[in-house]
Structure 1
Amino acid sequence: MGEAAPKPKASARKKKGDSASSITTPTPTPTTTAESAPRLSASAKEGNESNDDSDDGSDKDSEETVKSRTGKDGDD
């Protein structure tokens, strides 16, 4: 009896593993990939917009600082 029990379990595992696991595993994978792609695009867009604003502010600050120092040096 002990030998008969493991055989059905092994067969059941193989069938479930081949059919259920193989079919179930690839199905969620494309769904996750599709959701990840738009998220990356959204993050990239937000990052670019923030970088543009930061660059503009940095350039203005740098120019003002240089002009201020130059003016003070000339007055002294």
Structure 2
Amino acid sequence: MNSTTQMYVDLLYRKYGKTQLTRQELAETLEISVSSLEGLILKGDLPIRYKRIGVSQKARYVFPIIEVANFLAFADAA
């Protein structure tokens, strides 16, 4: 893990106090709406790995902060 990724992991952990984010928290972090985030998930265009918990239409999604940090670090480098 590079220093930029570690910085984002630390930042996200301090802000949310946990190792996985909800859809609302991820949308806030990416500065997009929850509906935009859900659209990316449904189209398969979200470049962040996540886990779906449940099989119903209202299944929960969790996003590990390491995956979010990797995405943010890559976006910073680009």
TM-score tier after normalising by the smaller chain length: under 0.3
Q: Which has the higher contact order (CA 8 A, sep 6+)?
A: 2
Larger Rg: 1
Higher strand share: 2
TM-score normalised by L of structure 2: 0.20
